[in-house]
Amino acid sequence: MKKTIFYRLSDKTYCGVFILPALAVLVLMVAYPFISLLYYSTLNFSILRPMQETQHIGLQNYTELLTSPDLWDRFIFTGKFVVMTVGIQMLVGTAIAYFLQRDFRGRDILFTIFMLPMMLCPIVVGFLWRYIFNSEWGMANYLLKLIGGEKMDWLGRSENAIWAVVIADAWMWTPFVILLATAAFRSIPNDINEAADIDGASPALRFFQITLPLSAPILLIALLLRLIDAFKQNDLFFAMTGGGPGSETATVSFMLGKLAFGHFYTGEASALAVILLLIITGLSMIFVRYLLGISQKG
Amino acid sequence: MASIKLNNLTMRYGNSTAVNGINLAIDDGEFVVFLGPSGCGKTTTLRCIAGLENPTSGDILFDGVKVNHLHASARNVAMVFQFISLYPHKTVRKNIAFPLRARGLSEAQIVEKIKWVEDVFSLSEVMDRYPNSLPPGSRQLAALARAVVRDPKVLLLDEPLSAIDEQFREEMRWELKHLQSRLGVTTIHVTHDQREAMSLADRIVLMHSGDVVQIGTPQALFNDPINEFAAHFIGSPAMNLADVQVASGGLMLGSSLLPLGSLPTPLSEPGNLRLGIRPNHVQRDGKAGEPGCVLALIEDRYAIGREEYFQFSLGGQKFVGIDKEKNRQLAEVGTSEMIRFDCAEMRFFTPDGIKVVAP
Amino acid sequence: MNAPRLSIVGLNKSFAHKHALTDISLDIHAGEILALLGPTGAGKTTTIRAIAGLESLSSGRVYLNGSEITQLSPTDRDVAVVFEGFNLLPTLSVYDNIAFPLRSTIYRETEEVISERVNKAADNLRISLLLSRKVNQLSGGERQRVAIARALVRRPTLYMFDEPLSALDLKLRESLVAELREMQRMNGATMLYATHDYGSAASLGHRIALIENGHILQVGTLSDLIATPRHIGVGRLIGSPAMVFFDVLNDKDMLSIEGLPWKWRFDTSLPAVAGITQGLILGIWPEDVELEFSPRTGFAQCEVHATDYRGLDRAIELRRGTNRVRKAIALAPAVQRGDSCWLGLPTSKIFAFNAQTGERVPGSLTLLESHE
């Protein structure tokens, strides 16, 4: 029996057929809502009161948002948060991965333990650290007192609270960086490491001149993913500070949540969502361009 | 530049022995080739000399000084790996500069040395390219340049030519030989390609299953193999090897008698031996009754280049011969001809494969 | 019927940015071994895959035993391929690997027949003792033989080997080439054998097809290729050492080589276009180059730049100016670096190639002057 029919279909047709289901889902669940989002962002509209007459106000939502000093404060706060937490994650994560390269007794167990924080539910992590940072009976202040320090108001004051959430977020996501950094280090052929050895490179020189540059593509992916996630971080703020005091520890994402599902200013929230989307997309594109630049060389 | 001495170098992994007590002395500036089939221990020995692995026992000496305890980076050896391992994210220039920077040379010194290897290896056109974009052969040269630029005591090559096409390999062999003699650095080259070994080596160390089989010049190994393994491994096409019985008047192969005439027989009494003779010493110009001449049926004929090969059997065992004269009439499959074995070039081995010394 | 076993006509295949195959046409006759010789990336693997049905073609047709199989799926084509990586199934034993094709839905043989064929194939390749082993316990050479046995067991119309021997030790490669030749002698198998190694191609192939950059340069027996090379690529691929090339200087109608003392006139039947004599490369087989170790008139003095001991003979490289000549000579007399020797180029043995297209320019050379 000659199976000639399947053979005749070109590769392109095959591709099309297999992509179709995924494409359908994409359209239904992403494209349609997205277009709706853009539409809503031009309306003065609240889904709580769908019957009320909606006004088309064009880009007024956008102008209001972008000229609001409060929103800019939120942007600055978000920026601070992202830089701090991702910075810690990348540095600590890469360092830990570096030291876990060499095989020693118990290394695998240690590695697994390091992975645990990432496995927890974000909201659980939020509450966990909220209790740790509780001013009265939290572990943090307990340990501080043990080493002779003073009790601190971690979550009630915004300059401390940002550190608290950064610590919680970094604790949860550094394992991700460890994982990717380990993969990056492992992907370097052993020959290259041996060649560096024979060339007489000290461990430091080898790390900065060989290991790091060759790991760059994967590490940059890790960086990009962490940045995007940090921008969106909500659960920790929700659990630990509720955005407070006031709205001093609210990130832009948190604001968005409040606008959309707290105040139900759907139109405004949609506009803010679009703004956030543009920022994240813009950053990602810059990254990808840079990443491509690095891999072109190789 | 350094002389190397290996004293009883042994490497064991669990129950298996990869290298079984090697003793070897290499002179300063010598080009030594470790030759053998895969798994014979040649690469392991090389890596021990490099400092990438620690031998189970035995000593490695550079210029009479023990270096066992020294880490690879402290031994001042240079190595070119099988898959080249140039740093892919650096240009050729930066690759070559790396070992110099690692050793803390000044900018001026680095520039000078780079210029020097650039000339020696003719790399001017590719200095600012990345390893992945280099044509075959250039990568090997760049890797060699990086190895050589810091005046290492020893140059170690781990099958560096195995990853390129045959036609480039030949080119590279010429280059490599030339460069080594110009630079005069003690070189150890590991390969399984006996043509490479014959072409490059001042001396060959033939290895098999962790043991050293024979050490000698290419000519010595070719003309006077110490056992059957060496006889078979060296030389392309391979040496003919067959079972023979020593009888009065000559050698018996099955029912055919190969007369040896007045020449002394290899054994003083009748017995079984292995006969070895290279195909170029087997010709079709035999005369009946003369020493080394026997009638045989031509079974196959083929040409490689301008050389005509013919194949026949004696006593059920196959032999290959090469016609020396180009104008001779071609062998015809199916006809019987008088074959002449060059008795002076016959080699004999015991049934265990060890060379028999003629009495 | 005298149709060739395999016939491919005008195969064309492009990948995203590259023409892998351009107008490939070949015939393989029954009982013949055709060696497909070319450097890495020339298109050998793609050709084999196209014949096997694993690659779609932009255009072209494939005929097996006279009937067209271009549209057939790979399972319906009666060809067996031994791939470069052997492609053995790691979870099965050697026996099951060899038996695998016989158990497929197309062939569906009974267990008795399977057992007999597998044992015979294993016997042929001397791996009978390995039948119960797992594939990952085998050495490279043993795996190679299992892959060949798997192809053998189907008795296909055509066998194709894709450089299966290049990764192995040289000695193993030699013995397996002998093995394949023996196998072919006994069974009269028709084979296509792809390699980049001139030695393997020459010792195994009845005819050789040279492929470079997706083009077939020439097909013929080795003596044909040596006597009448049609493309400069033939000179590059054939021979150890390969053909010697010289860049040509053109002065009015006289050809000369920089640094060498001869001048020739080139008469060609092609219309006299200035471009032709402008960009020419002269080539000559090293075996035709004449060498003397004492001065001779009409010969050019050169220096021995390097020697290469090859056991049976010696290869030497001669240099004069920027010209390099590599030739194999007998072991005696012993020649050393730095020795002088005298080089002669017999005019009738010189080939002229178009420097741009690489094609041979037919015509005759006449020696006009000789300054030494």
CA contacts within 13 A on the Cβ side of C279? 7
Chain C residues lying within 8 Å of B237, measured CB to CB: 174
Residue C216 has pLDDT above 90, yes or no: yes
The pair phi, psi for residue B11, each rounded to 5°, is -135, 120
Q: Tell me the residue length of chain C.
A: 372
* Average confidence (pLDDT) over C223-247: 90
Residue B249 has pLDDT above 90, yes or no: no
Residue contact C309–B195, C-beta within 8 A: no
Contact criterion met (CB below 8 Å) for C335 and C341: yes
CA contacts within 13 A on the Cβ side of C282? 29
Chain B residues lying within 8 Å of C312, measured CB to CB: 235, 278, 280
| Whole-number average pLDDT of chain B | 86
Q: Which of A165-174, A205-214, B315-324, C106-115 has the lowest mean pLDDT?
A: C106-115
* Residue-range domain boundaries for chain B: 4-233, 240-349
Place of tokens 């192809």: C151
Domains of chain A: 62-297 (1.10.3720.10)
SS3 A297: helix
* CA-atom Rg of chain B in angstroms: 25
Q: Which of A39-48, B126-135, C168-177 has the lowest mean pLDDT?
A: C168-177
Residue C1 has pLDDT above 60, yes or no: no
Contact criterion met (CB below 8 Å) for B27 and B35: no
* Residue-range domain boundaries for chain C: 6-236, 241-370
CATH superfamily of C241-370: Nucleic acid-binding proteins (2.40.50.140)
H helix and E strand count, chain C: 9, 21
Share of chain B above pLDDT 70, in %: 95
Buried b / exposed e along C119-150 (16+ C-beta atoms within 10 A) = eebbebbebeebbeeebeebeebbbbbbbbbb
ipTM of this predicted structure: 0.76
Q: Which of A168-177, B25-34, B122-131, C272-281 has the lowest mean pLDDT?
A: C272-281
A298 contact B CB<8A: yes
Chain B residues lying within 8 Å of C308, measured CB to CB: 173-174, 177, 199
Higher pLDDT, B335 or A185: A185
Question: In the A/C pair of chains, how many CB contacts fall below 8 A?
Answer: 17
CA C203 to chain A, closest CA, distance in angstroms equals 36
pLDDT digits (tens, 9 = 90+) for C159-176: 998 876 555 567 667 777
* Average confidence (pLDDT) over C286-293: 91
Interface test mutation site (partner C, options B306, B310, B311, max chain C beta carbons within 10 A):
B306
Residue C147 has pLDDT above 70, yes or no: yes
C183 contact B CB<8A: no
Secondary structure percentages of chain B, helix, strand, coil, to 5: 25, 35, 40
Cis peptide before B237 (omega within 30 of 0): yes
Buried b / exposed e along B136-172 (16+ C-beta atoms within 10 A) = bbbbbbbbbbbbbbbebbbbbbbbbbbebbbbbbbbb
pLDDT score of A100 = 92
Q: What is the DSSP string of B18-61?
A: EEEEEEEEE-TT-EEEEE-STTSSHHHHHHHHHTSS--SEEEEE
DSSP run (H or E) holding B307: strand B307-314
From B339, B350, B311, select the one nearest B231 (Cα to Cα): B350
Give, rounded to a whole angstrom, the gap between the first and last alpha carbons of chain B: 43
A174 contacts: CB under 8 Å, gap ≥ 6:
A88, A89, A92, A93, A96, A117
The answer for C 245-274 residues in CB contact with B (under 8 A) is none
Which whole-number Å values give the CA distances from B244 to B254, B295, B299, B351, in the listed order? 8, 16, 20, 10
pLDDT digits (tens, 9 = 90+) for A80-108: 999 999 999 999 999 999 999 888 888 88
pLDDT score of A197 = 87
pLDDT digits (tens, 9 = 90+) for A145-164: 888 888 888 888 888 889 99
Separation CA B165–CA A105 (nearest Å): 44
Q: How would residue C277 be classed by pLDDT, with cut points 50, 70 and 90?
A: low
Separation CA B92–CA B247 (nearest Å): 66
Task: Please name the member of A194, A201, A298 whose beta carbon is closest to the beta carbon of B130.
Answer: A298
Most confident of B165-179, C184-198, C223-237, C244-258: C223-237
Mode of pairing for the β-strands spanning C158-162 and C191-195: parallel
* Average confidence (pLDDT) over A181-194: 91
A165 contacts: CB under 8 Å, gap ≥ 6:
A81, A85, A129, A233, A236, A237, A240, A241, A249
pLDDT digits (tens, 9 = 90+) for B71-86: 888 888 999 988 778 9
Residue contact B166–C287, C-beta within 8 A: no
Q: How would residue B178 be classed by pLDDT, with cut points 50, 70 and 90?
A: confident
* Average confidence (pLDDT) over C230-240: 90
Q: Using CB atoms within 10 Å of the CB of residue B266, give its burial: 0 to 12 exposed, 13 to 18 middle, 19+ buried.
A: buried
Q: What is the DSSP string of B237-263?
A: SPPEEEEEEEETTEEEETTEEEE-TTS
Q: How would residue B235 be classed by pLDDT, with cut points 50, 70 and 90?
A: confident
CA C61 to chain B, closest CA, distance in angstroms equals 30
Contact criterion met (CB below 8 Å) for A142 and A134: no
pLDDT score of A1 = 43
Which whole-number Å values give the CA distances from A192 to A226, A275, B75, B84, C77, in the listed order? 29, 45, 18, 9, 45
Query: Looking at the domain that runs over B240-349, which CATH code has it been given?
Result: 2.40.50.140
Looking at residue C133, the DSSP 8-state letter turns out to be S
pLDDT score of B335 = 86
pLDDT digits (tens, 9 = 90+) for C71-109: 888 888 889 988 877 788 888 899 999 988 888 776 677
Across the beta sheet with B211-216, what order do the strands follow?
B77-80, B154-158, B186-191, B31-35, B203-208, B211-216
Residue contact C308–B174, C-beta within 8 A: yes
pLDDT score of C231 = 93
Query: Looking at the domain that runs over B4-233, which CATH code has it been given?
Result: 3.40.50.300
The residues pairing with B17 across neighbouring beta strands, listed in sequence order, are B12
Residue C23 has pLDDT above 80, yes or no: yes
The pair phi, psi for residue C331, each rounded to 5°, is -70, -30
Residue B229 has pLDDT above 80, yes or no: yes
pLDDT score of B168 = 76
Residue B34 has pLDDT above 90, yes or no: yes
Which whole-number Å values give the CA distances from A214 to A187, B310, C71, in the listed order? 9, 55, 45
pLDDT score of C148 = 85
SS3 C211: strand
Interface test mutation site (partner A, options B47, B87, B89, B96, max chain A beta carbons within 10 A):
B89
Interface test mutation site (partner A, options C13, C14, C54, C56, max chain A beta carbons within 10 A):
C56
The answer for B 116-145 residues in CB contact with A (under 8 A) is 130, 132
Across the beta sheet with C254-257, what order do the strands follow?
C351-354, C280-284, C244-251, C254-257, C262-267, C364-370
B356 contact A CB<8A: no
A276 CA to centre of own chain? 13
Which whole-number Å values give the CA distances from C176 to A138, B320, C179, C222, C239, in the listed order? 75, 15, 5, 21, 21
Which whole-number Å values give the CA distances from B305 to B140, B331, B332, C285, in the listed order? 29, 16, 18, 11
* Average confidence (pLDDT) over B12-28: 89
* Average confidence (pLDDT) over A159-177: 93
Cis peptide before A245 (omega within 30 of 0): yes
Looking at residue B268, the DSSP 8-state letter turns out to be S
Q: Which fold has domain C6-236?
A: Rossmann fold (3.40.50)
> Other C-beta atoms within 10 Å of A240: how many?
26
pLDDT digits (tens, 9 = 90+) for A244-276: 777 788 888 888 888 888 888 888 888 889 988
Q: How would residue C271 be classed by pLDDT, with cut points 50, 70 and 90?
A: low
Q: How would residue B265 be classed by pLDDT, with cut points 50, 70 and 90?
A: low
Chain A residues lying within 8 Å of B98, measured CB to CB: 196, 199, 201, 209
Separation CA C15–CA C146 (nearest Å): 32
* Average confidence (pLDDT) over C331-358: 87
pLDDT score of B359 = 42
B52 contact A CB<8A: yes
Mode of pairing for the β-strands spanning C33-37 and C207-212: parallel
Looking at residue B123, the DSSP 8-state letter turns out to be -
Which whole-number Å values give the CA distances from C319 to B121, B167, C4, C304, C326, in the listed order? 18, 20, 47, 6, 9
Separation CA C301–CA C318 (nearest Å): 10
Higher pLDDT, B162 or C93: C93
> Other C-beta atoms within 10 Å of C314: how many?
18
Assigned token pair, A213:
């540059």
Against chain C, the chains showing at least 3 CB pairs within 8 Å are A, B
Most confident of A286-290, B118-122, C341-345: C341-345
Mode of pairing for the β-strands spanning C59-64 and C33-37: unpaired
pLDDT score of A55 = 72
The answer for A 180-239 residues in CB contact with B (under 8 A) is 189, 191-192, 194-202, 205, 209-210, 213-214, 216
* Average confidence (pLDDT) over C57-79: 87
Q: Tell me the residue length of chain A.
A: 298
Assigned token pair, B2:
């350094």
Nearest CA in chain B to C201: B304
